[in-house]
Amino acid sequence: MSIRSIFTPRRVPPIGVEFSEEGLRLLQVATPGSDAIRRLAFVPFGSEGTVDVTELRKALRGFRGRQAVVAPPRGDLTIRPARLPRLENQELREAARWEAAGLLELDAADVVAEPLIVSNGVDADGLAEMLIVAGSVTTIESRLESLLQAGLRPIGVEPAFVGAGRAFTMRSRRSDEKDRIRVVVDVADSESWIVVTRGDSIVFAKRSDVSGSTFDAELGAALGIENSMARRTRCESHRRGLEPEVLAEVRTAVRRVAGPLGDEAGMAVRYVTVAARLSRPECLHLCGEAGASPGLVETLSAAVPGIPVEQDELVHSRLAEACEHGDTPLAWATAYGLSLRPGLDAGKEAA
């Protein structure tokens, strides 16, 4: 071992922490820029929907470092489109904060906001298209409290869809793939997001009300069962085989209510190819807690003809170990993408 290696600090990737519907998902890649997973863990919420700090401390054994990038519960953050000048980092954040306070009719002193630039240029007025991710400081700090008590040190807060989109852009950091366009549809239990990436940058994002809960309500009504039972039935379609008749009912229910999600995916494709004048997306990836629901691939394939709805084998294989927690591997895509977040510049405040 050289003297230089002894005194050169080793960089450690952050732990991706996602507040999912039922608990915390924690995942860390092996090294910065790596696609290999060092460790993952799931910490279920208690009866009151809170995090048990003792259980979280136990789960953190085996992770390196304690820096974390956190995706709070989806309902804690609001995303709004806006047009703002392309200012320097801190000035842009301040402009986004005041813009968010006005849009959301909140006290600016309790608003934290992060602008996501989704256009390459500016219009005639010098304004660029952005998405403003905003939330209440009080609410977010309350979510982080249990993480801090367990010893985690949050260095960034991001919406779940950003992590999901980033999970599929690892290879797009190569120069020969920097212009590659992908669509990622993140289908969670409570909502869905359609994200379009160019290389490793987000160029479009839109929320949809279609979700796993939507599928469960439709399936429950069709079979005359409670939504909780419908959810278990739908999830069993990827954990173990169902009777062909039941599987057909699940697929039919999903396709019956997933149409609006397909329409919105089709609109996203038209936006990037016509309005944004980018190349046509090369593929569409599904992920999220409900992303493996039967019938979704067929619905989205019909909505984006000519664009393959495919499984990214690299991402899927890396996440396959998550199946031991009863999830589909791609339910871990958000936590994976959070851990892949590039390092923050020195002195730069976390969003």
pLDDT tens for each residue of 158-176: 999 999 999 998 765 566 6
Tokens of residue 328, six digits: 């589909």
Residue 5: its pLDDT value, please? Answer: 40
Question: Is the model's pLDDT at 117 over the cut of 90?
Answer: no
Taking all residues of the chain, what is their mean pLDDT, rounded to a whole number?
86
User: Band of the pLDDT at 244, cuts 50, 70, 90?
Assistant: confident
Residue 100: its pLDDT value, please? Answer: 84
Q: What is the DSSP letter of 176?
A: G
Alpha-carbon separation of residue 318 from 31, 35, 336, 339, 341 (angstroms): 14, 7, 9, 13, 17
Contact 35, 124 (CB under 8 A): no
Residue percentage of the chain with pLDDT more than 70:
89
Angle at CA 182, nearest 5°, toward 179 and 184?
A: 150
Residue 175: its pLDDT value, please? Answer: 62
C-alpha closest to that of 211 among 198, 185, 192, 195? 192
* Distance of alpha carbon 140 from alpha carbon 73, whole angstroms: 9
Angle at CA 317, nearest 5°, toward 316 and 319?
A: 65
Question: Is the model's pLDDT at 198 over the cut of 80?
Answer: yes
**Tens-digit pLDDT profile for residues 125-145:** 888 888 888 899 999 999 999
Amino acid at 293: S
Residue 51: its pLDDT value, please? Answer: 94
Q: What is the phi/psi pair of residue 308, to 5°?
A: -65, 130
Taking the CB of residue 23, how many other CB atoms lie within 10 A of it?
21
Tokens of residue 246, six digits: 């039941």
105 vs 219, residue with greater confidence: 219
Residue 350: its pLDDT value, please? Answer: 44
User: DSSP H helical segments within 10-120, as ranges?
Assistant: 53-59, 89-104
- 111 beta partners: 136
Tokens of residue 279, six digits: 């190349």
Match 């279920």 to its residue by tokens: 44
Strands 127-136 and 37-44 come out as unpaired
**Tens-digit pLDDT profile for residues 80-106:** 888 888 888 888 888 888 888 887 777
Residue 129: its pLDDT value, please? Answer: 82
Classified as helix, coil or strand, 196 is strand
Residue 166: its pLDDT value, please? Answer: 93
Sequence-ordered list of residues with C-beta below 8 angstroms from that of 17, at least 6 positions apart, any chain: 24, 25, 26, 68, 69, 70, 71, 147, 152, 154, 335, 338
- 71 beta partners: 18
Residue 4: its pLDDT value, please? Answer: 40
Helix 244-257, helix 212-223: angle, nearest 10: 120
**Tens-digit pLDDT profile for residues 143-162:** 999 999 999 999 999 999 99
* Distance of alpha carbon 337 from alpha carbon 95, whole angstroms: 27
Alpha-carbon separation of residue 103 from 133, 173, 213, 290 (angstroms): 12, 34, 28, 31
Residue 97: its pLDDT value, please? Answer: 86
Question: Is the model's pLDDT at 349 over the cut of 60?
Answer: no
* Distance of alpha carbon 190 from alpha carbon 183, whole angstroms: 20
Mean pLDDT of 176-182: 79
